[in-house]
A and B are shown apart, each in its own frame.
Chain A
């Protein structure tokens, strides 16, 4: 099958630069390039065809069922050759939603039989993409759909901005391969015929992305002596640089600005591993405080106890809702037994301090969690990685129902699955309501692992995981 690369990216991101490199570099492949109607490249020795975006709405105008009629026609014609092409490159317009292009390869039998959607490559302008992302326009979709992302023009931003940008992109799409580039300078084998849909990197998935979306944004573990201490929210009367103080300038609060949800949980019993985790800044996976995280998850979904400034509190199960006065509040904290205590904070932007004898104590271990949970419309990724054999009927029923009800919100879905009674891996990929599943090669000897990734909006990790588990035999 002929691999197809779809090139997306906003105007000025560097798409044309990449296209020109592909057309002029000696890579030994005979390619056909289908440029968008505003394309401006033209080179003799490769086949360049000017396409005109022609959407075929197959089902009452539903975008999930729209395909590119012009591609069906052009790609059909490109099969009529004595010598088959080595690859197809489709350039989309800057504002295009990549879904209909991808869907074209799932709906039409002729396309399915002859072509393989290899990868959606999105070129991102490191300097300007945040503006687009904040505006919530098609650039979010272009990142969500991508298998490969070229973070281009890295010379125009600082290393810190770049790291922040990459983190932001990761939150939308946890599985794309990200390459940092200047002038779209990337070895072409990272862009062409990369097998991007095949989820070969399943084992390398960012472990963070396989975890639940925690309802809290920050946690710190403190070693506290027994006694009467103080929990302080806000900057008032506290020397800086000791507590948890992000100092972010844009303070985006979720919900009521004068309420902060906090869980204070004892780490009990504290093991040597816990104490060791307090001595190092190295992040480790799985989290050494996973049990407390799970307990905090429960606390945050249970009833809360409201505390006014001055009201006393103690570590223990349950959620505390601190009522603040202009962002500040001081609460006497009674600790009966010396030990390790985890503090989980609903909004990670609030400065939080624990004062022992009037002096702020530093947490020995701390962690920031994903900040996306409270934006229901945010595009994010959910990954499920679990061993076990799947019942094909249950799996089919679940996926069909899921796509029927939530296909509009699911931009991409990919999976490598272990189906009962099969020696081959079931590899599948989907775009909105359409998907393609096939058994490819045999599993390698040794333990098998199911990997499933969803990228989209309104994804409920717990529900998806539960439904997946119900398909296990």
Chain B
């Protein structure tokens, strides 16, 4: 297994989000200060520099289908839409006075702005303004291949229908939720929590589990393609739970150790590698299925702010606090 530098680019400020276009041709990178750069995946050429959000950008999401369309959320309370091919600003949806910190593009673009939540069309039109939550929304995740959105806030997780915006179900959880993820087949819904723990629901079976014992709040979650391995942050180890069958209860998790708190995690889309990064700048690749899971280690000069696998799993993009964007090639050999 080999990780080699492919190209590097620069943003003006902290790389707050990275997103590959679905065709893998572009890497969008948002700077915390506001501007967004579209890099060519092949060589790192700066295709377009988008003004982004004047008071700061927070999140990026590509439309999963059709012509390449990028959405960005900012501290101006707006979601902006950009044409990936031309770099043109195509629409703006103003959601409120809060920050737009969470975007998830599934059957519609879900955007959270403070306690408000809206489902938007690619033209920026608000299809559904969903009921406000009692506290700020902190995570969004579409159920894979289903028109169902999970939205977390302090107090619980709501399941909302894409077509009507109707509230289908609400799971109470009396603590802060930092992250949400669905397993790829949509069986498990998992939250990473402030308390610090990981909570798992099987919505169709009315079953739930709580896994605790973390050092710190759990901000990072990732499922592998098979739905078996759930990787979680929340300390110096990436803690990987086996979710096969009845789930992780009673099973010891695999602990993938780092020397510093884990700051990012990402599983490949179609293959089984897990990338983990820690505050000391170390990036590691793991195969949870193997007896010797560690596959590669790279040391960066700064801790990655984000990890993102390209759609074909051949490239791993990393952002830095100083605004650098690195793309590494991942090759077997």
Interface residues of chain A, those whose CB is within 8 Å of chain B, are: 50, 52, 54, 56, 58, 69-70, 72-73, 77, 80-82, 108-110
Whether the pair B322, A82 counts as a contact (CB closer than 8 A) is yes
Whether the pair B175, A80 counts as a contact (CB closer than 8 A) is no
Residues of chain B contacted by A50 (CB below 8 angstroms): 97
Residues of chain B contacted by A77 (CB below 8 angstroms): 58, 99, 101
Residues of chain A contacted by B16 (CB below 8 angstroms): 80
Residues of chain A contacted by B33 (CB below 8 angstroms): 81-82
Decide yes or no whether B223 CB sits under 8 A from chain A.
Answer: no
From known contacts A80-B305, A82-B321, infer whether A52 and B216 are also in contact, taking CB-CB under 8 Å.
no
Residues of chain A contacted by B215 (CB below 8 angstroms): 109
Shortest beta-carbon distance, B221 to chain A, in Å? Answer: 17
CA distance A155 to B311 in the complex (A): 69
Residues of chain B contacted by A52 (CB below 8 angstroms): 98, 114
Shortest beta-carbon distance, A60 to chain B, in Å? Answer: 8
Q: A52-B98, A70-B136, A82-B321 are in contact. List 16 more A-B contacts (CB 8 A).
A: A54-B136, A58-B175, A58-B194, A58-B195, A69-B176, A72-B176, A77-B99, A77-B101, A80-B14, A80-B321, A82-B33, A82-B322, A108-B194, A109-B217, A110-B216, A110-B217
Decide yes or no whether B323 CB sits under 8 A from chain A.
Answer: yes
Residues of chain A contacted by B162 (CB below 8 angstroms): none
Whether the pair A109, B176 counts as a contact (CB closer than 8 A) is no
CA distance A110 to B263 in the complex (A): 11
Whether the pair A69, B58 counts as a contact (CB closer than 8 A) is no
Among the listed A54, A56, A69, A82, which residue makes an inter-chain contact with B14, where contact means beta carbons less than 8 Å apart?
A82
Whether the pair A81, B99 counts as a contact (CB closer than 8 A) is no
Interface of B is mostly: loop
Decide yes or no whether B13 CB sits under 8 A from chain A.
Answer: yes
Whether the pair B323, A82 counts as a contact (CB closer than 8 A) is yes
Decide yes or no whether B32 CB sits under 8 A from chain A.
Answer: yes
Among the listed A54, A80, A81, A109, which residue makes an inter-chain contact with B216, where contact means beta carbons less than 8 Å apart?
A109
Shortest beta-carbon distance, A185 to chain B, in Å? Answer: 32
Whether the pair B13, A81 counts as a contact (CB closer than 8 A) is yes
Whether the pair A69, B136 counts as a contact (CB closer than 8 A) is yes
Whether the pair B176, A56 counts as a contact (CB closer than 8 A) is yes
Residues of chain B contacted by A73 (CB below 8 angstroms): 101, 136, 138
- The list of the 8 closest CB pairs from A to B, nearest first, reads A109-B216, A82-B13, A80-B32, A80-B14, A82-B14, A80-B16, A54-B135, A56-B154
Residues of chain A contacted by B194 (CB below 8 angstroms): 56, 58, 72, 108
CA distance A80 to B135 in the complex (A): 23
CA distance A109 to B97 in the complex (A): 28
Residues of chain B contacted by A58 (CB below 8 angstroms): 175, 194-195
Chain A minimum-CB-distance residue to B322: A82
Residues of chain B contacted by A81 (CB below 8 angstroms): 13-14, 32-33, 321
Shortest beta-carbon distance, B279 to chain A, in Å? Answer: 9
Residues of chain B contacted by A69 (CB below 8 angstroms): 135-136, 154, 176
Residues of chain A contacted by B217 (CB below 8 angstroms): 108-110
Give a binary string over B321-333; 1 marks a CB under 8 Å from any A CB, 0 the rest.
Answer: 1110000000000
Residues of chain B contacted by A108 (CB below 8 angstroms): 194, 217
Provide 13 A-B residue pairs closer than 8 Å at the C-beta atoms, listed in order of the A residue.
Answer: A50-B97, A52-B114, A54-B154, A56-B135, A58-B175, A69-B135, A77-B99, A77-B101, A80-B16, A81-B14, A81-B32, A82-B33, A110-B217
Give a binary string over B1-35; 1 marks a CB under 8 Å from any A CB, 0 the rest.
Answer: 00000000000111010000000000000001100
Residues of chain A contacted by B101 (CB below 8 angstroms): 73, 77
Chain A minimum-CB-distance residue to B320: A82
CA distance A70 to B137 in the complex (A): 11
Residues of chain B contacted by A54 (CB below 8 angstroms): 135-136, 154
Chain A minimum-CB-distance residue to B196: A109
Shortest beta-carbon distance, B278 to chain A, in Å? Answer: 14
Residues of chain A contacted by B176 (CB below 8 angstroms): 56, 69, 72
Chain A minimum-CB-distance residue to B97: A50
Residues of chain A contacted by B175 (CB below 8 angstroms): 56, 58
Residues of chain A contacted by B322 (CB below 8 angstroms): 82
Shortest beta-carbon distance, A220 to chain B, in Å? Answer: 59
Shortest beta-carbon distance, A43 to chain B, in Å? Answer: 14
Chain B minimum-CB-distance residue to A74: B99
Chain A minimum-CB-distance residue to B12: A82
Residues of chain A contacted by B114 (CB below 8 angstroms): 52
Shortest beta-carbon distance, B21 to chain A, in Å? Answer: 23
Shortest beta-carbon distance, A252 to chain B, in Å? Answer: 45
Q: Which of B87-105 contact A (CB under 8 A)?
A: 97-99, 101
CA distance A336 to B151 in the complex (A): 87
CA distance A394 to B58 in the complex (A): 48
Residues of chain B contacted by A82 (CB below 8 angstroms): 12-14, 32-33, 321-323
Give a binary string over B147-160; 1 marks a CB under 8 Å from any A CB, 0 the rest.
Answer: 00000001000000
Shortest beta-carbon distance, B308 to chain A, in Å? Answer: 16
CA distance A58 to B174 in the complex (A): 8
Shortest beta-carbon distance, A53 to chain B, in Å? Answer: 11
Chain B minimum-CB-distance residue to A57: B174
Residues of chain A contacted by B97 (CB below 8 angstroms): 50
Residues of chain A contacted by B58 (CB below 8 angstroms): 77
CA distance A81 to B32 in the complex (A): 7
CA distance A69 to B138 in the complex (A): 10
Q: Which of B14-71 contact A (CB under 8 A)?
A: 14, 16, 32-33, 58
Chain B minimum-CB-distance residue to A83: B13
CA distance A50 to B322 in the complex (A): 26
Chain B minimum-CB-distance residue to A58: B175
CA distance A56 to B194 in the complex (A): 10
Shortest beta-carbon distance, B277 to chain A, in Å? Answer: 15
Q: Which of B175-231 contact A (CB under 8 A)?
A: 175-176, 194-195, 215-217
Chain B minimum-CB-distance residue to A49: B75
Shortest beta-carbon distance, A193 to chain B, in Å? Answer: 23
Shortest beta-carbon distance, A98 to chain B, in Å? Answer: 21
Chain B minimum-CB-distance residue to A70: B136
CA distance A403 to B321 in the complex (A): 39
Residues of chain A contacted by B99 (CB below 8 angstroms): 77
Residues of chain A contacted by B195 (CB below 8 angstroms): 58
